[in-house]
């Protein structure tokens, strides 16, 4: 504990002992000055005041010094005695009372000073404690801040990782669709070639065919657009980019997904039946991620039915609006007529690296589910009548309805 | 060009592919009729003229190979040129075995396609003449009375009038009269001619 500090003026012994000297001197001078005007003025009260002040200010020592100086001053007749002509002995009782008074005042002064010191000490301690607590709090605060920053960066890292994972899974999926993609690009390219060759024939047989050549050129432009649209779709699906929500129509999403997978679906002799409710609300979601989810479900269903007899080689895709606790929701359902899901497998279906396919990574469904959940929805296996499996993605509806 | 009296059918579900083929083949002077599916093709009437079919292998609904089988079942011997996006060897073997003229992988050279079409049309031109002749023979044969028909069947086996009469339980004179009617209605110049007609009718009955 540090020694409590009072005002520096009180601490200095020189000042403490200088005060009685000055005070008594001042009292004696003032008394003499007053007596020169009026001889009836008594000297003692002012000296008494000086002694009391000294005792209060400086404690017992300065008080006694002031008393001694006052007594000396009276004894030496520097100040006229209270009753003129009386001897020092006669004044003794008065001096004793005077000294007791000094003692008393200096005792009170001491107590007061002590109390003040205690108060000061307590205040200082309090201040120190407050400073300490403040330091502690600011330390805790900075720790909290760094923890928050750490958590935030961990969350960001997780998000980035999920995006990366979704991207990898998407690219893997595109790998499964290469035949389809090649076909979709080759069709318009083949058509362009046919038109070009037809044009050469037309030109070779004379200029009267200009109108036909013009028609062919127009169609070439149309087919070039078709090819570049296919490539743009593929590029968008294979791109690695942050989530970007937009207003999407379920029909557009489905058309795009089926356009990409069409050839694979046909090659397996699979029929796709779509059933979209009229006036379906729009989705507020990331286009590429939604396509990924739908494409994944469609591919899974397609592979589930490919070994089935022709009449069962069918998948049904439907979309409905439904009122749920969180407002209007869109329910997209992909259902196949394949062998269905073994109830024992159902729980593990959404676990990472769990696959029932020989070449499967086991990432499709878990990633699809995380995408749907990141959009505030749910993706699950739902019971269906008859043979086969049905998956349902429930997503909150955005603003606007399908035109 | 040589295609005015013939027709090329195109069946392809892909709109770009179908329209461009139609355009190319038409630019080469043929009459073209294009269909987006096997069903649409089967549902449309086909005039009797030299023809061929350019057929996409993979289509939703009835595939190209299935349409080939369907036409064979119906007795329609239309020369087929298959087209496919990918060289699928087992599929092409199956198609060729089933009588396809050509199996072309997209993208194909237009000369190859047009040569295949010309070949197919030529092949069908012969078949077309046969078909016309058959139709004519059937028409003539349909004019015979049941009795005349029986007489014709016996005569073409090489039996003499007397033997036919015995077989059918009629007089030789009656048979001779029937035989004359048969020769007249069938527009046969000689017995050998009638035998040939009978063989044709029998083979395609």
pLDDT digits (tens, 9 = 90+) for B124-180: 998 888 888 888 888 888 888 888 888 888 888 888 888 888 888 888 888 888 888
**Do residues B116 and B153 share a domain?**
no
A interface with B, Cβ–Cβ < 8 A, is 179, 182-183, 186-195, 197-199, 201-202, 209, 212, 215-216, 219, 223, 226, 263, 266-267, 269, 271
Given a contact cutoff of 8 angstroms between Cβ atoms, the answer to whether A50 and A70 are in contact is: yes
User: Closest to B28 (Cβ–Cβ): which among A193, A201, A269?
Assistant: A201
pLDDT band per the 50, 70, 90 thresholds, residue B1: very low
Share of chain A above pLDDT 70, in %: 89
Q: Residue A198: inside a domain, yes or no? A: yes
Q: Look at residues A201, A217, A240 and tell me which one is the last residue of a structural domain.
A: A240
**Do residues B30 and B117 share a domain?**
yes
Q: What is the CATH classification number for the domain harbouring B91?
A: 3.40.50.2300
Q: What is the CATH classification number for the domain harbouring A383?
A: 3.30.565.10
Q: Kindly report the CA angle at A53 between A52 and A54, in degrees rounded to 5? A: 90
Q: Residue B2: inside a domain, yes or no? A: no
**Do residues B61 and B110 share a domain?**
yes
**Do residues A254 and A193 share a domain?**
no
**Do residues B116 and B181 share a domain?**
no
Contact A198 B23 (CB under 8 A): yes
**Do residues A256 and A339 share a domain?**
yes
Q: Residue B77: inside a domain, yes or no? A: yes
Task: Please determine, for residue B11, whether its predicted confidence score (pLDDT) is greater than 90.
Answer: yes
Given a contact cutoff of 8 angstroms between Cβ atoms, the answer to whether A280 and A317 are in contact is: no
Q: Residue B58: inside a domain, yes or no? A: yes
Contact B16 A179 (CB under 8 A): no
Rounded to an integer, what distance in angstroms lies between the CA atom of residue A22 and that of residue A36?
21
**What are the chain A neighbours of B34 within 8 Å (beta carbons)?**
none
Distance (Å) from the alpha carbon of B22 to chain A's nearest alpha carbon: 9
Residue A208 is classified by DSSP as G
Q: Look at residues B133, B158, B185 and tell me which one is the last residue of a structural domain.
A: B133
From first to last of its 403 residues, what are the pLDDT tens digits of chain A? 444 444 555 567 888 888 888 888 888 888 888 877 776 666 677 787 888 888 878 777 888 888 888 877 777 766 666 565 666 667 677 777 777 877 787 788 778 888 888 999 999 999 999 999 999 999 999 999 999 999 999 988 888 888 888 888 888 888 878 878 888 888 899 999 999 999 998 988 876 788 899 999 999 999 999 999 888 888 888 888 888 888 889 999 999 888 888 888 888 888 899 999 888 888 989 988 899 999 989 988 988 888 888 888 889 999 998 887 778 899 999 999 888 888 877 778 887 777 777 666 677 888 888 889 888 899 989 888 888 889 999 998 876 554 4
Rounded to an integer, what distance in angstroms lies between the CA atom of residue B22 and that of residue B25?
5
Convert the pLDDT of each residue in A185-200 to its tens digit. 888 999 999 999 999 9
Distance (Å) from the alpha carbon of A374 to chain B's nearest alpha carbon: 36
What is the model's pTM?
0.63
Domain range for B52: 7-133
**What are the chain B neighbours of A191 within 8 Å (beta carbons)?**
16-17, 19-20
Q: Look at residues B85, B109, B133 and tell me which one is the last residue of a structural domain.
A: B133
User: For residue B78, what are the contacts with CB-CB under 8 A and spacing of at least 6?
Assistant: B9, B51, B52, B53, B71, B124
**Do residues A122 and A231 share a domain?**
no
Q: Look at residues A105, A133, A161 and tell me which one is the last residue of a structural domain.
A: A133
User: Closest to B24 (Cβ–Cβ): which among A194, A263, A271?
Assistant: A194
Burial of B100 (0-12, 13-18, 19+ CB in 10 A): buried
**Do residues B18 and B102 share a domain?**
yes
pLDDT band per the 50, 70, 90 thresholds, residue B43: very high
**Do residues A108 and A222 share a domain?**
no
Q: Which residue of B has its CA nearest to A187?
A: B17
**Do residues B73 and B171 share a domain?**
no
Convert the pLDDT of each residue in B171-199 to its tens digit. 888 888 888 888 888 888 888 888 888 88
* DSSP string across A38-69: -TT--SHHHHHHHHHHHHHHH-HHHHHHHHHH
Q: What is the CATH classification number for the domain harbouring B192?
A: 1.10.10.10
Mutate to test the interface with B, among A180, A181, A185, A191 (most CBs of B within 10 A): A191
Task: Please determine, for residue B31, whether its predicted confidence score (pLDDT) is greater than 90.
Answer: yes
**Do residues B128 and B199 share a domain?**
no
* Parallel/antiparallel/unpaired status of strands B51-56 and B80-84: parallel
Q: Which residues of A7-20 are buried (b: 16+ CB within 10 A; e: fewer)?
A: eeebeeeeebbebb
Q: Residue A150: inside a domain, yes or no? A: no
Number of domains in chain A: 3
Contact B58 A189 (CB under 8 A): no
**Do residues B17 and B110 share a domain?**
yes
**3-state DSSP call for residue B46?**
coil
Q: Residue B39: inside a domain, yes or no? A: yes
Rounded to an integer, what distance in angstroms lies between the CA atom of residue B47 and that of residue B1?
20
Given a contact cutoff of 8 angstroms between Cβ atoms, the answer to whether B84 and B91 are in contact is: yes
User: For residue A295, what are the contacts with CB-CB under 8 A and spacing of at least 6?
Assistant: A173, A237, A257, A260, A261
**Do residues A333 and A387 share a domain?**
yes
Q: Give the pLDDT of residue A5.
A: 46
B interface with A, Cβ–Cβ < 8 A, is 14, 16-17, 19-21, 23-24, 27-28, 58-60, 63, 85-86, 106-108, 110
**B107 cis-preceded (ω within 30 degrees of 0):** yes
**What are the chain A neighbours of B86 within 8 Å (beta carbons)?**
179, 183
Distance (Å) from the alpha carbon of B77 to chain A's nearest alpha carbon: 26
Q: Give the pLDDT of residue A6.
A: 47
**Do residues B41 and B117 share a domain?**
yes
Given a contact cutoff of 8 angstroms between Cβ atoms, the answer to whether A223 and A192 are in contact is: yes
CB atoms within 10 A of CB B97: 8
Tokens for A345, please give them. Answer: 């497998």
User: For residue B102, what are the contacts with CB-CB under 8 A and spacing of at least 6?
Assistant: B81, B82, B112, B116, B119, B120
Task: Please determine, for residue B202, whether its predicted confidence score (pLDDT) is greater than 60.
Answer: yes
Given a contact cutoff of 8 angstroms between Cβ atoms, the answer to whether B82 and B104 are in contact is: yes
Tokens for A260, please give them. Answer: 């990409």
User: Closest to B107 (Cβ–Cβ): which among A193, A198, A263?
Assistant: A193
- Regarding an ipTM greater than 0.90, the answer is no
> For chain B, what is the mean pLDDT?
87
Residue B145 is classified by DSSP as -
Contact B110 A197 (CB under 8 A): yes
Rounded to an integer, what distance in angstroms lies between the CA atom of residue A255 and that of residue A270?
16
Tokens for B177, please give them. Answer: 């009269």
Q: CA-CA distances (angstroms) from residue A388 to A64, A305, B122?
A: 112, 9, 51
Rounded to an integer, what distance in angstroms lies between the CA atom of residue A4 and that of residue A58?
17
**Alpha-carbon torsion, ordered A347, A352, A353, A357, to 10 deg:** 60
Distance (Å) from the alpha carbon of A215 to chain B's nearest alpha carbon: 10
Number of domains in chain B: 2
Q: Look at residues B109, B133, B157 and tell me which one is the last residue of a structural domain.
A: B133
Domain range for A287: 243-401
Mutate to test the interface with A, among B12, B15, B16 (most CBs of A within 10 A): B16
Q: Give the pLDDT of residue B7.
A: 94
pLDDT band per the 50, 70, 90 thresholds, residue B51: very high
């Amino acid at each position: 504990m540090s020694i409590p500090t009072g005002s520096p003026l009180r601490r200095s012994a020189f000042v403490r002992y200088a005060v009685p000297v000055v005070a008594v001197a001042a009292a004696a001078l003032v008394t003499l000055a007053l007596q020169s005007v009026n001889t009836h003025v008594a000297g003692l009260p002012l000296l008494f005041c000086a002694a009391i002040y000294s005792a209060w200010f400086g404690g017992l020592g300065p008080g006694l010094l002031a008393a001694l100086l006052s007594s000396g001053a009276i004894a030496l007749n520097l100040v006229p005695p209270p009753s003129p002509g009386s001897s020092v002995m006669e004044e003794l009782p008065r001096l004793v009372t005077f000294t007791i008074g000094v003692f008393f005042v200096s005792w009170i002064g001491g107590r007061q000073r002590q109390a003040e010191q205690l108060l000061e000490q307590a205040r200082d301690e309090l201040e120190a404690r407050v400073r300490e607590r403040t330091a502690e709090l600011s330390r805790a605060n900075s720790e909290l801040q760094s923890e928050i920053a750490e958590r935030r960066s961990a969350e960001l890292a997780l998000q980035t990782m999920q995006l990366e994972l979704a991207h990898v899974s998407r690219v893997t999926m595109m790998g499964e669709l290469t035949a389809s993609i090649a076909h979709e690009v080759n069709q318009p390219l083949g058509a362009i070639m046919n038109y070009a060759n037809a044009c050469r024939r037309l030109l070779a047989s004379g200029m009267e065919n200009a109108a036909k050549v013009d028609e062919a050129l127009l169609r070439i432009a149309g087919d070039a657009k078709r090819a570049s649209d296919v490539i743009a779709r593929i590029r968008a699906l294979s791109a690695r980019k942050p989530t970007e929500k937009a207003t999407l129509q379920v029909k557009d999403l489905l058309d795009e997904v089926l356009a990409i997978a069409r050839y694979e679906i046909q090659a397996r002799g699979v029929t796709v039946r779509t059933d979209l409710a009229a006036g379906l609300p729009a989705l507020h979601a990331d286009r590429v991620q939604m396509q990924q989810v739908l494409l994944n479900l469609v591919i899974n269903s397609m592979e589930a039915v490919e070994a089935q007899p022709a009449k069962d080689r069918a998948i049904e895709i439907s979309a409905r609006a439904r009122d749920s606790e969180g407002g209007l929701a869109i329910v997209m359902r992909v259902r196949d007529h394949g062998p269905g899901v073994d109830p024992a497998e159902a729980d593990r279906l959404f676990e990472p690296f769990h696959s029932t396919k020989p070449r499967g990574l086991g990432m499709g469904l878990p990633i699809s589910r995380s995408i749907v959940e990141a959009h505030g929805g749910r993706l699950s296996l739902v019971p269906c009548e008859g043979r086969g499996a049905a998956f349902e993605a429930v997503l909150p509806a955005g603003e606007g309805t399908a035109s | 060009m040589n295609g005015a009296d013939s027709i090329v059918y195109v069946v392809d579900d892909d709109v770009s592919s179908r329209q461009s083929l139609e355009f190319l083949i038409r630019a080469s002077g043929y009459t073209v009729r294009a269909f987006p599916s096997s069903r649409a093709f089967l549902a449309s009437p086909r005039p009797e003229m030299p023809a061929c079919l350019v057929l996409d292998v993979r289509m939703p609904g009835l595939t190209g190979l299935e349409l080939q089988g369907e036409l064979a079942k119906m007795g329609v011997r239309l020369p087929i040129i298959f087209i496919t996006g990918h060289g699928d060897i087992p599929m092409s073997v199956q198609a060729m075995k089933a009588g396809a003229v050509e199996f072309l992988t997209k993208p194909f050279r237009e000369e190859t396609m047009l040569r295949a079409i010309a070949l197919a049309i030529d092949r069908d031109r012969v078949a077309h003449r046969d078909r016309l002749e058959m139709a004519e023979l059937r028409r003539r044969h349909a004019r015979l009375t049941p009795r005349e028909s029986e007489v014709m069947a016996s005569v073409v086996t090489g039996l003499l009038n007397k033997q036919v009469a015995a077989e059918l339980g009629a007089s030789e004179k009656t048979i001779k009269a029937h035989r004359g009617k048969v020769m007249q209605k069938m527009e046969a110049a000689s017995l050998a001619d009638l035998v040939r007609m009978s063989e044709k009718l029998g083979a395609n009955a």
